[in-house]
Structure 1
Amino acid sequence: MPQIPKKSRPVNTAVKNSYRYFFIPLILLTAIIYFNSLKNPFLWDDEMVIRDNPAIRNLSNLKTIFSEDYFSTAKEITYRPISTVTYFINYACWQLNPAGYRISSLLIHALNSILVFLLVAKLFPLRPALPFITALLFCALPVNNETILVTSFNEDLLVFLFGTLFFFSYIKYVEHKNKNLLFISLLAFTLALFSKESAVVLLALIPAYNLMSPKSRKKPLPAVYFLSIALITVFYIWIQFFVMKVPNPAPATYPGGSFYTNMLTMSKVFINYLGLYIYPANLCAEHIIPVSTSLRDFKVIFSLILIVLILLSLKFVYKISKPFFFGLLWLLLGLAPVMNFIPFLNVSLLAERYMYFSSFGFCLMAGSLLILIKNPKIRNVILVCIITFYSYVVITRNNDWKDHSTLWAKTLSQSPGSTRAHTNIGLDYLNAGQIDTALAEFQEAVRLFPKNTVAWANMGDAYLRKGDFEKALEACKKSIEIDNANIVAYNNMGIAYAKMQKFKEAEYCFKKIIELDPNNVSAYDNLACAYAINGNYDAAIKEFQNALSLTPDSPALQAKLQRAMKDKQNNK
């Protein structure tokens, strides 16, 4: 571990030149604690967004990020084009090798850790030990594990990368008045917004920095800078909410049905986030937070009192410790977008991936407490113990992600009330041919959350495999009532109708899938099969060719196309 400067003095040129020696341990630590994750497969959203998504395999599809086809290409429910571009780049580099995608995420995380070091060094030059301590904590913090391991969650990595670069460039400009830094700052802010909408909270950091820094008050920025920030923000809002509107958006409601119950419930969520930061030993893919409807709930009262005390302490904390104050402010701002003020959370009210951005704030707070220990040997021993504990938790947690069954079995053992875990365990049973056991899991999933459209669709698949087509249709229709863009439900309905010789209904279902997702190979395949069974060979040939245009190397599709052509000749 590099020797941390002992004296509290401004960071001089010699120290600046030694920064690169601090970067090496951050890169090595990232590599060491995540090395055993490289063998893990695509899991969770990666299965749909990357593994089963032919759209990202052709760079010509990049143009769809500027059209409404974006949502079917990216498999996103919000407009986040920067993240989507990284999927294309990753596929071009790694094809479908999960290790390559994970290496890309680890590189971004290591770069983010370096930016944490640079930002803290710039913000608090009189505390030379603080940057490295904060960066080490951020690098190894276990709650960041989920964001790093699931590539389709990389929007949180990217918004932090560009958001931190935006803020760092702003501070550098205040010092040096280099106009290039203004341009970098504006560009980084734009990229942060189009990585994830939560980047808007970065705007609140500028007045916070101005409050702490006499330099910024003495050297006000040109009005054109703030005008540019405002125009970029307005442009983003226009694109996000008026141009690139999500087709067939799934309805979102507050937990408990009102803003009041949402605030009661989310107060508990906030305290749970703090608990996970402080003691990150119970990491889970889905945390269950019961909805609270009354102030008579002790946990709600405790949470609200603690939140009020935190807010009231801000002025006092500002006077005592600027680093702790700034860290607390960053943490509060980072968590604000996931407090569900505008309803968007349906099932997972608390998710570890939502903690990545605000985790820097926690690490800065923890670092500011550690530097209060004046004896550097004692401080370093404590730091090593914390990093060792963090590393053990991360390395152990990586093993929970070794395959689909392990992840969701672990989740179910931690959160028996998880509708998502029951759904995914049911899918494992279904794929193993244990249909009745799978049905029991899907039924439990919809009992826990009746609007679980995925569980209803999978239930339809289970009934389909049992040969009970009426129940399959009933389950799929229930799924579509909840989410009229559920492709799996339409697919299972189409197959059920085809089995029942109702080809017009089957064709409607497969065409609906193609309307929702023009890159869905199985929809073209199933539609072609329905046409072929019904004797419409010309239409069948056309749809097989459409499917092959997406996956030209598929032997199965090539064989089906040849069979359709042969049947057409035989039936002339």
Structure 2
Amino acid sequence: MADARKRLILSLGLITVLILLVYGTTLRHDFVWDDNDIIVNNPLLNTLGNIPRFFLTEDKVVTATGYYRPLTYVSFALDRALWGLNPLGFKITNLVLQILVAMLFYAVTLALFKKERLALVAAVLFAVHPLAGETVNFLAGGRNTLLAACFTLLSLLMYIKGKTVPAVICFTLAIFSKEFALLLPMVFLLYDYRLQREKIRFASFIPYMIPVVGYLTLRSFAVQKANFLDKIHLSGQLWLSPYLAVRYLLNMIFPFRLKVMYDESTTIYVCIACLIVVIVLLCAIFLRKKYDTYNVFIFSDYWFLLFLLPVINIIPIPANSLIADRYAYFSLMGFSLALAALICKANTRVMVIAVVLVCSAYSLADYRQNRIWKNDATFFAQMAKDAPEMFIGYRNLALYYYDKGDITNTEHFLGIACSKPDIPPSYLVGAATIFMESNKADKASALLLKSLEQDPANPETYLLLKMIYEREGNKALADSYLAKARKAIPHLEIELGRMAEDFCHEGERFIAERKYAHAANILRRALLVKPDFVPAIVALGRVKYEQGDFLNATKYLERAITLDPANASAQRSLSLLRQKQGETKGTP
């Protein structure tokens, strides 16, 4: 007993040390990409009193995603309470969770197959595999997966030990962390039928259905499009599913060319070849062999394929790319178990050498990847490098420099982004407004005309072209675009009012995030479509005040009061502004 406990402590200690060595450098990193919207600028995380609201709130970035992961936001709120907006604390939590997942993977493997060497090798390979790097580094995109993995493995461990109540509790926590955990009862079935050779008793699964019903009920209230089952499609790009499954497998086998953004293209012939591979993997699950090692391969194969189901385009993912490393985090456990089983077939000396060599190669790849996640600049630059034919990396770089006031780099990367075929028309319009700020009317009009070809129903495009030609003194051409807008868009005035409100809300969000350049840009767009829209005028006054431009702040606020003398917000802001001006004048 003492020897077993000592081996357990040494094994868990080795896993911890390896993860700290590989990912310790991430503790110096900033918030990156969606971290800013989901964590830094999320007012719901300001107080722990908002925790009940998370269970009736959709997982959103800027728009609705269809995801419902309340426990993830609970964890972020706890981090905010402990650490404020210091990214160090959030990174520590992710690191601790990765350690716990690896330890639980070790414990589950040991409980399933009673082989200490296999469990340790599998856990070590999983702990430092480069494919897990995105999940550990990406707070907004990885925390939900880490939490779900912890509770999923803990639930499975309790199920193996015959502890139903703890297993159900952990299962509940898992599904409220990420919907992947809904697949866990399928693992229970495999365990009972293939590993335990027991007759399946469906009545034993009834306790697990209770939290599922609760989850789906709460989700139906929280999510705008609550029924995610209607997203499952049997046409369209479903033929890509085998390709995506094999693509993830290849990334696990050779994880030295991973990307932060994948721009994938393939052919029907490649997909057919991949389908054959998937069929072979599926058939392997149903073959009956009596030796123990084959049970390991069955379980790893089944786990790998099962947890790929949500991410291989059967259910469309609201993302810029069909592939992301973090999507395959669960399936990576199945691959690591299979690789460990192969390595452990060798003698001890060969096994140790193989594990050291593989983990050394993995660690070098991890160090390289970790540097990419240092800050937005390094991350977006890598995104553009990984997917050079996609607009998103260049656009994100442009907006990063726009926030910094670096207009040269902003225009450079905007120009590249706008040349990409996948850029949406609305983004072309946004880019045009930035070029207009720099008096680059020729570039702005070219983008607007390009947008108009793709989306002739956007009234802002016509109004921006009208403004450009008015500034150039071409009144006839300017008026023609207004006429075209009235002809192309029924109920134009109503549509303009709606757009002004949407722009104003977005501008206020940017003000709350202290992104004043973005706020000013979007609020000016609100006034373009509705020149006397008072909420936008007041918000622009606030922007100028925050930027220290008191003269223009006063002009905007006075204009708002002229248009709406009873506007309390404008009166209050103007009073504060004049008080501030008096303090400034009185300063020696």
Aligned ranges 1:103-182 → 2 under 5 Å = 103-125=92-114, 127-153=115-141, 154-173=143-162, 181-182=163-164
Secondary structure of the 2:237 match is helix
Aligned residues: 507
Alignment RMSD (CA, Å):
4.0
* SS state at 2:250 partner: helix
Counterpart of 2:481 in structure 1 is none
Q: Distance in 2 between matches of 1:394 and 1:32?
A: 10
1:504 to 525, 530, 533: 533
**How far off its partner does 1:419 sit?**
2.9
2:560 corresponding residue in structure 1: 534
1:570 is matched with which residue? Answer: none
CA contact (8 A) 2:234 2:314 kept: yes
* Length-normalised TM-score, structure 2: 0.76
User: Which region of structure 1 is more displaced relative to structure 2, 161-170 or 487-496?
Assistant: 487-496
In the alignment, what sits opposite 2:205? Answer: 226
Aligned to 2:317, which of 336, 340, 344? Answer: 344
Q: What residue number does 2:255 align with?
A: 280
Pick which of 260-269 and 488-497 moved more.
Answer: 488-497
Structure 1 residues 74, 418: closer, same or farther in 2, change over 3 A? closer
Q: Which moved more, 1:57-66 or 1:182-191?
A: 57-66
Change (3 A) 1:379 1:395: same
Aligned equivalent of 1:211: 193
In the TM superposition, what is the alpha-carbon distance from 1:65 to its structure 2 partner?
Answer: 1.5
Number of the residue aligned with 1:381: 353
Q: Is the 8 A contact 2:32 2:375 kept in 1?
A: yes
Check whether the contact 2:538–2:570 (CA below 8 A) recurs between aligned residues. Answer: no
Q: Secondary structure at the match of 2:256?
A: coil
Shift of residue 485, structure 1, vs aligned partner: 7.4
Write the distance in 2 (CA, Å) between the matches of 1:508 and 1:493: 12
Where structure 2 has 5 or more consecutive residues not aligned to the other structure, the ranges are: 452-457, 462-494, 509-518, 541-545, 582-588
- Paired residue secondary structure (1:448): coil
Equivalent residue number for residue 417 of structure 2: 442
Q: Specify the alignment match of 1:372 in structure 2.
A: 345
Q: TM-score, normalised by structure 1?
A: 0.78
Single out whichever of 409-418 and 194-203 deviates more from structure 2.
409-418
> For 1:155 and 1:510, how far apart are their aligned partners in 2?
35
Give the aligned partner of residue 48 of structure 2: 59
Q: Which has the bigger relative contact order, CA under 8 A and spacing at least 6? A: 1
Counterpart amino acid of residue 106 in structure 2: F
2:297 aligns with 324
1:239 maps to 2:227: no
1:303 to 254, 274, 287: 274
1:260 maps to: 235
Instruction: For structure 1, list consecutive stretches of 5 or more residues without a partner in the other structure.
Output: 1-11, 174-180, 512-520, 546-558, 568-572
Q: Please report how far the alpha carbon of residue 54 of structure 1 lies from its aligned counterpart in structure 2 after TM superposition.
A: 3.4
Q: Structure 1 residue aligned with 2:19, among 30, 35, 42?
A: 30
Distance apart, 1:162 and its partner CA: 0.8
CA distance in 2, matches of 1:148, 1:528: 47
Query: Does the 8 A contact of 2:26 with 2:374 survive in 1?
Result: yes
Pairing partner for 1:423 from 390, 395, 409: 395
Whether contact under 8 Å (1:159, 1:195) holds in the other structure is yes
Deviation at 1:496, TM superposition (A): 2.6
What's the secondary structure of 1:114's corresponding residue? helix
Structure 2 CA distance for partners of 1:230 and 1:360, relative to 1, 3 Å: same
CA contact (8 A) 1:26 1:114 kept: yes
Cα distance in structure 1, aligned partners of 2:40 and 2:154: 31
1:69–1:449 CA distance, 2 compared to 1 (3 A) = closer
CA distance in 2, matches of 1:73, 1:420: 16
Give the conservation status (yes or no) of the 8 Å contact 1:460–1:473. Answer: yes
Pair 1:314 & 2:285 matched: yes
Aligned: 1:409 with 2:409: no
Q: Compared with structure 1, are the counterparts of its residues 21 and 191 closer, same or farther at alpha carbon in structure 2 (3 Å cutoff)?
A: same
**Aligned partners of 1:528 and 1:541 also within 8 Å:** no
Give the deviation of 1:62 after TM superposition.
2.4
| Counterpart among 489, 495, 505 of residue 524 in structure 2 | 495
Task: Say whether residues 1:562 and 2:576 are aligned partners.
Answer: yes
Residues 130 and 363, structure 2, Cα contact 8 Å, conserved in 1: yes
Displacement of 1:333 in angstroms is 0.8
Letter in 2 for 1:246: Q
1:407 to partner: Cα distance: 1.8
Q: Separation in 2 of the partners of 1:249 and 1:458?
A: 33
Q: How does 1:88-107 map to 2 (within 5 A)?
A: 88-107=77-96
Give the letter for the 1:130 counterpart: L
User: In the TM superposition, what is the alpha-carbon distance from 1:165 to its structure 2 partner?
Assistant: 0.9
Equivalent-residue separation in structure 1 for 2:303 and 2:286 (angstroms):
15
Asked whether the 8 Å contact 1:498–1:530 carries over to 2, the reply is: no
* Cα distance between partner residues in 2 of 1:539 and 1:66: 39
Closer, same or farther in 2 for the Cα pair 1:107/1:539, shift >3 Å?
A: farther
Higher Cα Rg, which structure: 2
Q: Secondary structure at the match of 1:337?
A: helix
CA distance in 2, matches of 1:18, 1:529: 74
Distance 1:505 1:216, change over 3 A: farther
Q: Is the 8 A contact 1:495 1:506 kept in 2?
A: no
Shift of 1:416: 1.2
Q: Percent identity?
A: 22
